[in-house]
Structure 1
Amino acid sequence: MSLLLGSLILVGNMVIQVLAIVAMVRFLNRRKKMLLASNSLLADTRVLSIVVLVLFAGHALQFATWAFAFLQLGEFQDFETAFYFSTVSFTSLGYGDVVLTDHWRLLGGLEAANGVLMFGLSAGAILAVVNRLFDRHIAAGTWDQSGHE
């Protein structure tokens, strides 16, 4: 039962992160003239800040999804503890100060696997945006081989 439930949550969280990435791309495309009005460090910082904030919001929603599941299973008495455990597990940190019962302990490992996959997906999205920014600087002639503007 743990494997099935954990797999369903993992798939649901994948959908959440893909939706966050799609929303981020659409937002950037709709506002690219305003966001990329110049080839400045400030413009690049603004774009990357938006990207990171949107992706982190997706991750935070996933922490909450796992926390809600743990509450429904009776693993924790309050949302704060469930969210703490979820965040620690999702990031693969796993302090061990708060643990699941033996019956549901497989969910902790599945959440860690979920986190690794979703952070990888987010890292790929960030890399794609950084590559676009580099390409834009190269095309505009504001980036040279030495890395100085």
Structure 2
Amino acid sequence: MLLNIILGLAVVVLTVNVQGYGTLFWMKKYDKKRNVLSEESFRKQGAKLLISTSIFLIFLHLIQSALWALLYMILPGISEIETFEKAMYFSLVTFTSLGYGEITIGSTNRILSGLEAINGITLIGWSTAFMFAIFQELLKKKNKNKRVN
């Protein structure tokens, strides 16, 4: 059990790094675009920004889930997961806390799925907060434009 906790926490560290560096990367891109938003194109550009941010964050979560899936693939004793597709499916279901249950892993490794669920909840919450922060910035920009005009 201790080995599983250590391996799980190592993957948590990796996924938090993916989220952190991904968020910083996107903030730099956003900072460049935010000053270009004009009032005429505000709605269209704002919508594009929110959609592209959402897709980017989902991409980050796919990478994070893939890291967990790789762990499930390389660990001995997880015979329920024969292919990467099954590992990825199990990981996505666990990461998002859906927990359908048609694929489960054996008792010696099942602590990993709990760690992944905690990790997923945390990182999805981070993404939600990030999306909300961008939405707030867009609203501030819109209100600032209204006051100037």
TM-score surpassing 0.5? yes
Equivalent position to 2:111, from 94, 106, 112: 106
Identify the residue that residue 47 of structure 1 maps to in structure 2: 49
**Alpha-carbon displacement from aligned partner over 1:110-140 (angstroms, at most 9, x marks no partner):** 0000000001111111111011001001101
Moved more, 123-132 or 38-47: 38-47
Partner of 2:101: 96
Alpha-carbon offset, residue 30 of structure 1: 2.5
1:1-149 superposed matches below 5 A: 1-34=3-36, 36-38=37-39, 39-74=41-76, 75=78, 76-141=81-146
Normalized against structure 2, the TM-score is what?
Answer: 0.89
Superposition deviation, residue 2 in structure 1 = 1.2
Q: TM-score, normalised by structure 1?
A: 0.89
Distance in 1, Cα, partners of 2:24 & 2:42:
25
Query: What is the percentage of aligned positions where both structures have the same residue?
Result: 28
Give ranges in structure 2 of 5+ residues lacking alignment: none
The Cα shift of 1:33 comes to 4.4
Query: For residue 128 of structure 1, what is the amino acid of its counterpart?
Result: A
Gapped regions of structure 1 (runs ≥ 5): 143-149
1:43 CA drift (Å): 1.3
CA RMSD of superposed structures (Å):
1.4
Q: How many residues align?
A: 141
